[in-house]
Amino acid sequence: MRHGLLALAVVAVWGTNFVVIKVALSTFSPLWMAVLRFALALLPAAFFIARPAVSWQKLAAYGLLIGVGQFAVLYLAMTRFIAPGLASLVIQTQVFFTIGLAMWADGERVRPMQWLALALAVAGIVVIGAHTGGDTTATGVAMVLVAAASWAGGNQVQRSMGRGQALGVVVWASAFALPVLAVLALIFEGPAALATSVASADATAWAAVVWQAVGNTLFGYAAWAWLLARHPAATITPMALLVPVFGIGASVLLLGEPLPAWKLIAAGLVLGGLALNLFGPRRR
More confident residue, 231 or 149: 149
Is 67 a residue whose pLDDT tops 60?
A: yes
Q: What is the mean pLDDT of residues 172-185?
A: 94
pLDDT of residue 89 exceeding 80: no
- When pLDDT is cut at 50, 70 and 90, the band that residue 81 belongs to is confident
| DSSP letters for 216-281 | IIIIIIHHHHHHHTTS-HHHHGGGGGGHHHHHHHHHHHHH-----HHHHHHHHHHHHHHHHHHHHH
Given CA atoms 209, 211, 214, 216 in this order, what sign does their dihedral have? negative
- Residue 205: closest CA among 22, 39, 17: 22
The pLDDT of residue 281 is above 80: no
pLDDT score recorded for residue 244: 80
Report which of residues 236 and 29 the model is more confident about. 29
Q: Read off the pTM.
A: 0.79
Please name the helix (run of DSSP H) or strand (run of DSSP E) that holds residue 8, with its range, or none. Answer: helix 2-25
Residue 167 clears pLDDT 90, i.e. is over it = no
8 Å CB contact between 108 and 102: yes
Reported as a pLDDT band with limits 50, 70 and 90, residue 90 is confident
pLDDT at 185: 94
pLDDT at res. 126 = 80
Q: What is the pLDDT of residue 128?
A: 73
pLDDT range class, residue 33, cuts 50, 70, 90: very high
Give, as one character, the DSSP assignment of residue 49.
S
**pLDDT (0 to 100) of residue 64:** 95
| pLDDT of 98 | 78
| Average pLDDT of the residues in 219-226 | 82
Distances (CA, A) of 108 to 137, 225, 231, 281, 282: 35, 17, 11, 15, 18
Q: Are 247 and 84 in contact (CB under 8 A)?
A: yes
Average pLDDT, rounded, for the chain: 84
For residue 244, CA distances in Å to 87, 99, 101, 155, 202 come to 9, 19, 23, 19, 28
Instruction: Please give the average per-residue pLDDT across 195-221, as a whole number.
Output: 88
CA-nearest of 35, 86, 81, 54 to 217 is: 35
- 226 versus 176: which is more confidently predicted? 176
More confident position, 211 or 97: 211
pLDDT band at 229 (very low <50, low <70, confident <90, very high): confident
Name the percent of the chain in helix, strand, coil, to the closest 5. 85, 0, 15
Res. 282: pLDDT tops 80: no
Give the integer Cα–Cα distance in Å for 56 and 182.
20
